[in-house]
Structure 1
Amino acid sequence: MSKILPSAAHPTAAPAHGLGRTPEAAVRLTSVSKVYGRGTAAVHALRGVTVDIPRGSFTAVMGPSGSGKSTFLHCAAGLDRPTEGAVALGGSELGGLDETALTRLRRDRIGFVFQAFNLMPSLTVLQNITLPLLLAGRKADQRWLAEIVERVGLTGRTGHRPAELSGGQQQRVAIARALVTRPEVAFGDEPTGALDTMTAKEVLGLLRQTVDELGQTVVMVTHDPVAAAYADSVLFLADGDIVDEMTAPTVDRVADRMSRLGAWA
């Protein structure tokens, strides 16, 4: 069974990334803007965002509805191309990649965990976890696969199908699937949004554990101050720009900052 860390405990938390340039950045956004539509109908989802996400860190991204959180994640993860600016994963600039190369990069070097678990209902737990490897034509590292299955608490359930699992167990499958390729970055889009409070805490503790014990880099979009308190730092977005950052967040501090975010923006 996986070990769950309390939200206040960040025993091996990575140093705060700040908004400056750091050579060890896992993800780097430089003057990234994203505009949807044209003319008077144009929507500026991101406005010149520049930020480094350091390796081995847990970063939460928060902001009011329409602040650009999802667009930030989509651009950072190579799911969408910015209108202006540059995104780099490690030393790889995403802007110069064609769609085939970008698809390969996402498959091999990025993991995704969404609010909707996005599991294949006809596949077993093990088949769902190893699906990215199958699509990439790669064989599973059996020792790593066994470790991941144990860490997410699914030992003994690998032959089950998603319908036979609870919501929390299904999200654990999704996390294992995101980690099986040993990604440079795991992106979460409201990964606990569909879970009850206790199950959400278990999943958040598991994500925290992957950072502290495996050195995983995690970037998570969330609206929940409790979820954000598991991170090393929180980026606050408003009107498409990063307007503040908090290191060593707590639930109360995050909630207070969110309540006053509009005034700061």
Structure 2
Amino acid sequence: MNEAISLEAVSKVYGKGRGAVAALREVSVGLPEGGFTAIMGPSGSGKSTFLHCAAGLDRPSSGRVRLGGTDLAELSETKLTELRRERAGFVFQAFNLVSSLTVAQNITLPLRLAGKRADARRLAAIVERVGLTERTGHRPGQLSGGQQQRVAIARALIADPEVIFADEPTGALDTMTAREVLGLLRETVDALGQTIVMVTHDPVAASYADAVLFLADGRVVDTMTGPTAAGVADRMIRLGAWAK
């Protein structure tokens, strides 16, 4: 199976001298195309740094990150911005919608920023997939939290990205709504072959993934395929005790 993302001996250090903090330490891992991978670990384990480096939102201190066949270290900031806009999609806990824009305008915003026009049929298909056909003219303030996150997922899908990066996508949602959103993410993998990398602290959320990477002290210390909520919770308990 081809790798959508690969990290080769990636380290990330913040600060210098005695105040330096190593957020990632020599991480090497490949994430498969069309897979759903969850990233978990105790607080301070390097989860968000892993996601930011993999997505090109932050540059590693050493090592290489490749998206498809592209070495991100070789790209200028302008080219890196273009890559994120055209080849990656993002879903965050805070939704990050523009309050003055309608649902349809929020979804197509990445295309507009890239100077492209949205294909009407593709937009309609994505809106239908996320269950917002009757809400395209609404603004974010007129939607529930779950509906806003569905808009964010549709926005991530509109440019047909190689990878969607999700950072705690259900962190601001109630349990029932969170499961609906997770089911939608799972569906995009199963029905569309989308690749998803998701940081989460929730074992239930991780159970929707194909595999879980566990981080501690900036290193990948364990993996689990076919995760269950109970199995992930048990592993996290043991990791938390080990980290202490």
Once the two structures are TM-superposed, the CA of residue 262 in structure 1 deviates from its matched residue by 3.9
Task: Choose the corresponding residue for 1:98, options 76, 83, 91.
Answer: 76
Which residue identity does 2:222 align to in structure 1?
Answer: D
Aligned to 1:125: 103
Deviations 1:189-243 (A, max 9, x none): 0000000000000000000000000000000000000000000000000000000
Whole-angstrom distance in 2 between the partners of 1:208 and 1:116: 20
Whole-angstrom distance in 1 between the partners of 2:185 and 2:18: 42
Task: Choose the corresponding residue for 2:9, options 22, 28, 31.
Answer: 31
Once the two structures are TM-superposed, the CA of residue 165 in structure 1 deviates from its matched residue by 0.2
Which residue identity does 2:162 align to in structure 1?
Answer: E
- Aligned pairs for 1:101-116 (under 5 A) are 101-116=79-94
Aligned to 2:194: 216
Aligned to 2:27: 49
Once the two structures are TM-superposed, the CA of residue 264 in structure 1 deviates from its matched residue by 5.2
Once the two structures are TM-superposed, the CA of residue 113 in structure 1 deviates from its matched residue by 0.1
RMSD: 0.8
Which residue identity does 2:53 align to in structure 1?
Answer: C
Matched, 1:235 2:213: yes
Once the two structures are TM-superposed, the CA of residue 144 in structure 1 deviates from its matched residue by 1.6
Whole-angstrom distance in 2 between the partners of 1:215 and 1:193: 25
* Greater Cα offset, 123-132 or 142-151: 142-151
Q: Which has the higher helix share?
A: 2
Q: Which secondary structure does the structure 2 equivalent of 1:60 belong to?
A: strand
Which residue identity does 1:125 align to in structure 2?
Answer: V
Once the two structures are TM-superposed, the CA of residue 263 in structure 1 deviates from its matched residue by 5.0
- Aligned pairs for 1:1-265 (under 5 A) are 24-262=2-240
Whole-angstrom distance in 2 between the partners of 1:139 and 1:166: 28
Q: Which secondary structure does the structure 2 equivalent of 1:49 belong to?
A: strand
Residue identity over aligned pairs, in percent, reads 74
Whole-angstrom distance in 2 between the partners of 1:263 and 1:166: 37
Whole-angstrom distance in 1 between the partners of 2:136 and 2:104: 5
Which residue identity does 1:142 align to in structure 2?
Answer: A
Which residue identity does 2:178 align to in structure 1?
Answer: A
Whole-angstrom distance in 2 between the partners of 1:215 and 1:82: 28
Once the two structures are TM-superposed, the CA of residue 176 in structure 1 deviates from its matched residue by 0.2
Task: Give the length in aligned residue pairs.
Answer: 243
Deviations 1:42-95 (A, max 9, x none): 000000000001000000000000000000000000000000000000000000
TM-score of the pair, normalised by structure 2: 0.98
Once the two structures are TM-superposed, the CA of residue 141 in structure 1 deviates from its matched residue by 2.0
Aligned to 1:10: none
Which residue identity does 1:63 align to in structure 2?
Answer: G
